[in-house]
Amino acid sequence: MKPRSKTEYIVIHCADTYETMDIGADDIRKWHVEERGWSDIGYHKVIRRDGTVESGRDIGVSGAHAAGYNSVSIGVCLVGGRGQDDEAEDNFTPQQWESLEELVDQLQASYPDAEVLGHRDLPDVQKQCPAFDVRSWLFAIQQ
């Protein structure tokens, strides 16, 4: 696996799973390795429904979560994000929001020049991931 060269972005994702699915990094790793043939889970951190933050890919290694930006970003994945209608849905728990805020604070302390954004905010991304507006959320918590 290739080391990450620098950190320009902290990219927030969702697992695109229903709110009833309580999965974690091991489940996502299995999907990425066994079903997609990747060398490891694509994300560096996974936040479970109960707010537990699990480590995924080593933080010093390029992820596999944002094509074209993996070598310059850290990938954080919230479990959830898919509604019963199979559309993107902000169905994250209060515990996940609390953990996301704490994790982003920690990552920003380590990587102060990194921009925090949602996967959908990267150029040419045609997805709704992570099912909420990261910039608005970040602005609101920093007030």
- The CATH number covering residue 98 comes to 3.40.80.10
Catalytic residue selected from 9, 32, 43, 77 = 43
pLDDT, position 143: 78
Active site residue 129: yes
Catalytic residue selected from 9, 13, 45, 111 = 13
Distance CA 15, CA 96 (A): 13
Q: How many domains does the chain have?
A: 1
pLDDT, position 142: 84
Active site residue 69: no
137 found inside a domain = no
On the CB side of 106, CA atoms within 13 Å amount to: 11
The one-letter amino acid code at 34 reads E
69 found inside a domain = yes
31 found inside a domain = yes
Q: Average pLDDT over the chain, rounded to whole?
A: 94
The model's pLDDT over 48-107, given as tens digits with 9 standing for 90+, comes to 999 999 999 999 999 999 999 999 999 999 999 999 999 999 999 999 999 999 999 999
4 found inside a domain = no
112 found inside a domain = yes
Active site residue 77: no
Residue 32 has pLDDT above 80, yes or no: yes
24 lies in which domain range?
Answer: 9-132
Active site residue 119: yes
Active site residue 43: yes
The one-letter amino acid code at 53 reads V
Q: Which helix (H) or strand (E) holds 16?
A: none
